[in-house]
Each structure stands twice: as C-alpha cells, then as structure tokens.
Amino acid sequence: MLLHYATGLGIVVVGGVHLFTVFLTGPYLQNLAFSSVMMVYRNILLAVTLELLLVFVDYHALNGIRIILIEFHQGTNWERGVSWVLSVAGVLLLIYGTRTILIANALA
Amino acid sequence: MLRESGLKVVLITGGLTEELKRAFSGWFYPVHYNLERWAYALQRISGIAVTAYFLAHIVETGNVVGGLSVWSVPSVDFASAIWTATFHFLKNPLFDTGLIVIGFMLSYHAINGIRLTLAEFGLLQGKPSRPDFPYEPKSFSKAQRAIFWLSVLFATATAVYALNVFFGV
C-alpha cells in the first residue's frame, strides 16, 4: 500500500508536468498537432517524464482496481486471480505505452 | 478434499456477480452517509473514471506512431497521417464534455488522495475521545474536512477551466 501512496504523489508531480506541457505552453489545439507532439517525445527529459508517468499511473490505476475488487469480495482464490489478471494487464499496458514513447522518440 | 473444493467453487461462482453488484451499487445508494463516506465513494468512482480514461489515452497516444500494428520506427508521413486522423476523430463536443468530467474527477482524486495519504500516516487526525452525540468521526478532523472541500473546489475550478479550453466560454 505504501507504493500506492508513493506512486500517487509521484503522479501529482509528473502528471503536473504533463498537463503543463499540453495546456500551458501554448494554445491547446496547436500543442496537439503532430509536429508539436513529436517535439515533446524527442525531448529526452520530457520523454523520461512521460515514461515515469506511464509507470506510476499503470501501477496506481490497476492496484486501485485490485483494491476495490478485493474489498468487494474476500477469498484466497479471488485475490490471487484478481492480482494475476490485473498484473498481466498492467504489464501489457506498460509494454504498449513504452513502445509508443520509444518509437516516437526515435521518429525522425 | 476434492468435494470440498468443488463445493467452494460452486458457492463462489453462484453468488459472486450478485455480491459484486451489491457492493458496487452501495456507492450510489447514499442513505445515512456522512461526509467521509461521500468522500470515499467519490474517490472510488473518480478512480475508476480516470482509469478508464488512462486506458483510452494509452490507445489514443499509441496512434502518435501509427497505432497497434506498428512495432518499429515508421515513416513520418504515415505516423502523421494516422495521428491527424485520430485527432480529428476525437475533437468533437461529446469527447470534450467527457474530458471536462475527467478533469473534475482527476482534480478531486488528486487532492482528496493527498488527504488520504496524510490520514494514512496519522497526520491531521483528531485525538481519540469518548464517543458523544452526534458521534462525529474523530478521524475526519476540521483540517481533513478542509482538504476535502478544497478538493471539491479545485475539481470545480478544473472543470470550469476545461470548459473554457474546450468550448471557449
């Protein structure tokens, strides 16, 4: 549970940076144009921030769902099943998101 | 042994959906709720809403490089065309309204989450005392209440800001 709080506070920081780059560095629609988006991914510091945000939110969100589900129903098998399914889902999401960041960072 | 475990499985699968449904609908049945319980229900609902947005956002941003089938560096023209199409598909009043709701949920979840983190480590909690009428929970101290209302205020401000960004009012 300590990790849940730690990632939560981490999200407040790196999520703040993420929202700042999208909404407060210029007109919102302009910032979401392909060339502007690429500038964010090519900036290594911002790309690292996005990867951190991905890891934190991935853990925090799926662990949150896990907490809700094991609060709804108690049982060893249930808890084990829920944990496994959500862990696999979390790893898949992490792989897909990291792929986006790595390829976008390398895109000329 | 086999019979026992077989019976257990039947019992769990028989009532599980009902049990989950009942537990979930409890959040939306706010009878005799105190403020702390409202904060709890809203924290859970906003968490699920933001998780749903997160999943969609990972898929959406995946289109920046061309979508699910791209696993090596594509041509800039290809990625640009896919992203621009995605962008135009998502830029409509329905999704913008959804983003305003997500903005509210996200801000509430963040500030109320800070309150819960403080509570987890015993900060800003009331001192234990004899329970007297009207039995207000000592855990939900004045400072804790203040942060809860701050989260509602911040969430509303975010929604207003988002309304201005997406609809220019």
pLDDT in tens, B22-52: 999 989 887 888 888 999 999 999 999 999 9
Domain layout of chain B by residue ranges: 1-31, 33-167
Beta carbons of B73 and A107 less than 8 Å apart: yes
- CB-based contacts of B153: which residues, under 8 Å, 6+ apart? none
Distance separating alpha carbons of residues B90 and B62, to the nearest angstrom: 14
Is the predicted pLDDT of residue B14 greater than 90, yes or no?
A: no
Of residues B87 and B131, more confidently modeled: B87
B103 in Cβ contact with B161 (< 8 Å): yes
Q: State the average pLDDT over residues B17-23.
A: 90
- Would you give the DSSP letter of residue A84? H
Which of B23, B65, B72 is the closest to A100 by Cβ?
Answer: B65
Domain layout of chain A by residue ranges: 2-106
Regions of chain A short of the pLDDT cut 70:
108
- At residue B128, the pLDDT reads 83
Beta carbons of A61 and B117 less than 8 Å apart: no
Distance separating alpha carbons of residues B144 and B136, to the nearest angstrom: 13
Q: Which residues in chain A are contacts of B91 at CB distance < 8 A? A: 29
- Domain B33-167 falls under CATH 3.90.1150.10: no
pLDDT in tens, B85-110: 999 999 999 999 999 999 999 999 99
- At residue A23, the pLDDT reads 94
Interface of A with B in 49-108 (CB under 8 A): 54, 57-58, 61-62, 64-65, 68-69, 71-73, 75, 77-78, 93, 96-97, 99-100, 103-104, 106-108
B107 in Cβ contact with B154 (< 8 Å): yes
> What ipTM did this prediction achieve?
0.96
CATH class of the structural domain A2-106: mainly alpha
Is the predicted pLDDT of residue B3 greater than 50, yes or no?
A: no
